[in-house]
Copies of this chain bind each other. A is one copy, B any other.
């Protein structure tokens, strides 16, 4: 078992020259970790300059601007460029350059499958890691495959069938076996919750904060028992608020339970094996843990950002090995 890297540096940024840069470049956010040769984090940098705000020519200046003092001035013509290993939407067709999807069943794509965009600055060389697709039914992931790679790297003894759940705006469920992603499925649960809570007629009866555990679990079990009923249950949130003064915190928990319940009704063939690893430790991940527990499924949560960095470290290790004669 590989020891997971510490996400946050203990050293001051000035003490070490970077050996490489890890990057998780998503649609709305960018996270950079400046790494030393022992895969320890020298610095962690976050930015809101995600893919949705950038044209292809904006990526290099964004990277150089954020890395700033970590790069020694000069043309680096006598030294190897610093590798930047990047997962996420920067590798999509609308991103910096396209890193074409690998097709499942497959291991998480590694450095050998990475796309190298043209970059003017000789101090850096960039590797964009591909995502994974399935074609029947069609589905895609980009970024999550690197979390899966990190998960596999952290415990290489677990080679049998496993199920992981990645909650989020677009949550994903994946089956792993022998280090390969054998199938996966994506759900718009998080985005639906945000739209219904913030912009639909339900906004008056579903609060921004607050919770009701009982209402959440009840909505989960109701939806699992009768998945077809969910369409009728949504407007009922408003009717219950109008007619019986249902609290908006209860409305919030119930809306979440209905939507996560619909996702769980569609993923029964994933969690029915009774053991799921949830990649995430935030409030949403805890909701999934509660829901699975109510359905008799044991779930463990692991930190998603740690896994992303572990996955990027695994790609860097592959790069180092490929350089060793």
Binding site for B on A (CB under 8 A): 93, 101, 133, 135, 137-140, 170, 185-189, 191-192, 195-196, 199-202, 227-232, 234-236, 238-240, 242-244, 259, 262-263, 265-268
What 6 additional pairs, Cβ within 8 angstroms, besides A138-B240, A230-B266, A231-B266? Answer: A101-B243, A187-B231, A188-B202, A195-B195, A199-B199, A230-B262
A80 → chain B closest CB, angstroms? 35
Oligomeric state, in number of copies?
2
CB-based contact A139/B266 at 8 Å: no
A interface SS class: helix
Minimal Cβ-Cβ distance residue in B for A239: B138
User: Which of B93, B195, B263, B267 makes the CB contact (< 8 A) with A196?
Assistant: B195
A231/B138 contact (C-beta < 8 A), A133-B243, A170-B201, A186-B239 known: no
A33 → chain B closest CB, angstroms? 27
- The distance in angstroms between the C-alpha atoms of A170 and B138, with both chains bound, is 31
- The distance in angstroms between the C-alpha atoms of A137 and B262, with both chains bound, is 19
Chain B residues whose CB sits within 8 angstroms of the CB of A195 once the complex forms: 195-196, 199-200
CB-based contact A235/B188 at 8 Å: yes
CB-based contact B191/A239 at 8 Å: no
